Amino acid sequence: MTKNDLLKRQICKQLYFAQQLSSTDLSEKIGKSLPITIKLLNELIQEGQVKELGYGASTGGRRPMLYALEADRSYILAVAMDQLYTRIALMNMSNDFVWPAEQYTLPLQHNDQALQQLGDHLEKYLEKDPAAAARILGIGIGMPGFVDVKKGVNYSFLKTETGSINAYLEKRLGVPVFIDNDSSLIALAELRFGMAQNVKDGMVINISWGIGLGMIVNGELFRGHNGFAGEFSHIPLFSNNKMCACGKTGCLETEASLLVISDQVKQGLSEGKVSSIKITQTDTNEDICEKVFKAAARGDRFCIGILSEIGYKIGKGISILIHLMNPEVILLSGRGATAGKVWLAPVEQALNEHCIPRLSFNTTIKLSNMDLDAEMIGAAALVMESIVYIPTREKKTWPAERLPLVSEK
């Protein structure tokens, strides 16, 4: 691999995250002169990886030519896992879905076959279109649990007898694989493409079957010493003697999560609570939560009451985070954020009650607009951050003939 190859990769990376840039902008970002940058851009255009978009707006001089990646030259396979479901989608360089995302039921808790089942789903998904699969740069996977990014190990789920998750999947699929904690990737998506762009210090709350946390410190994703930073779910906030999946009692997760919502709805309806929603024995936890969100949006008092109680408890936990970090922005994201603005009032109420006003006054609580796509976009961004070199591809087939890529692992 030559120095020019690495510089081209830097250009592709900058264009992926910015979507479009001028040669002057790229020159500054990669730290090379304008003539060298233009030369590299011309080579990338000839290789079919970059295109000219046309002239941008003038800032007083000549209008600059804008450049962007060829969206469908290469693809990324993005995988978003939580404790119960796994979503898989093929994404292009513009973060658009090439194929519709597919969801699979894949419980991780007490499932020794989870990694093998994940590999089966990935193989089946890629077999739909071998020609498109041959253009995949890498696979990015977000997953819950204690994820060691460098070792490729999840100490909570998807355990392997030998080697790493990355190595197992790479051997099966012949594609570079990169893994990270689901909440960290949601924060990465918000930082690169969402409402946390240009935020220096922020926190992204992943409302799901647990309550995750992605941390942004000095404008970069913060993972902690071993990559385990952000285990918000397991702050022991309550003296409820309820056993958490982590083995402790009283964790935030035991009182505030989508699983708690599902349980409270079933209990409330069985006790005769009045509500417009109806649940059946075949409804999954996901089905029940979707019904609750829709009913709350229509004004169902029973559902609003449950979400308000959960939101207040999440807000109580957030007040601790504000005291520790004094963030600029806190974003509510993840699967549960699809419930919408119903979360904001109870979270703010909890902050008013539990936060020192001087600390919380300048912290803004926002609701993400990425919904379920946040983790998938973060998984794609993980691949683009991790791969050093994007090779020129001619006609390749999947899975027999693949051009090896170089990664930072």
- pLDDT, tens digit (0-9, with 9 covering 90-100), for 38-59: 999 999 999 999 999 998 877 6
**23/66 Cα distance (integer angstroms):** 7
Q: Give domain limits for the chain.
A: 3-69, 75-185+374-404, 196-369
- pLDDT score at 387: 80
Q: Are 142 and 79 in contact, with CB atoms under 8 Å apart?
A: yes
Q: Cβ–Cβ contacts within 10 Å for residue 281, how many?
A: 4
For the domain spanning 3-69, the CATH number is 1.10.10.10
> 132 in the Ramachandran plot: left (φ > 0), alpha (ψ -120 to 50) or beta?
alpha
Q: Where are the alpha helices (DSSP H) in 257-371?
A: 258-270, 285-297, 301-325, 344-354, 357-360
**382/178 Cα distance (integer angstroms):** 7
- pLDDT, tens digit (0-9, with 9 covering 90-100), for 142-193: 999 999 988 999 999 998 877 899 999 999 999 999 999 999 999 999 999 9
Which architecture, in CATH terms, is 75-185+374-404? 2-Layer Sandwich (3.30)
- pLDDT score at 405: 44
Q: Which amino acid is at 399?
A: P
3-state secondary structure of 375: helix
- pLDDT score at 390: 59
For the domain spanning 196-369, the CATH number is 3.30.420.40
Q: Which two tokens stand for residue 68?
A: 């962007």
**33/11 Cα distance (integer angstroms):** 13
Q: What are the two backbone dihedrals, phi and then psi, of residue 39, each rounded to the nearest 5 degrees?
A: -60, -45
- pLDDT score at 404: 41
Any residues with CB less than 8 A from the CB of 80 and at least 6 apart, and which?
A: 86, 87, 88, 142, 182, 185, 372, 375, 376, 379
Residue with tokens 């963030």: 327
Distances in whole angstroms, Cα of residue 145 to Cα of each of 55, 103, 104, 235, 310: 46, 20, 19, 15, 22
How are beta strands 202-207 and 329-333 bridged, if at all? Answer: parallel
Report CA torsion sign: 52, 55, 61, 62.
positive
**265/308 Cα distance (integer angstroms):** 13
Q: Which amino acid is at 314?
A: I
Tens place of pLDDT for every residue, the chain, 409 residues?
688 888 999 999 999 999 999 999 999 999 999 999 999 999 999 999 999 999 887 766 788 899 999 999 999 999 999 999 999 999 999 999 998 899 999 999 999 999 999 999 999 999 988 888 889 999 999 999 999 988 999 999 998 877 899 999 999 999 999 999 999 999 999 999 999 999 999 999 999 999 999 999 999 999 888 788 888 999 999 989 898 888 889 999 999 999 999 999 999 999 999 999 999 999 999 999 999 999 999 999 999 999 999 999 999 999 999 999 999 999 999 999 999 999 999 999 999 999 999 988 889 999 999 878 999 999 999 999 988 655 555 444 555 444 444 444 4
**Shared fold status for 3-69 and 75-185+374-404:** no
How are beta strands 65-69 and 50-55 bridged, if at all? Answer: antiparallel
Q: Where are the alpha helices (DSSP H) in 134-275?
A: 165-173, 182-193, 258-270
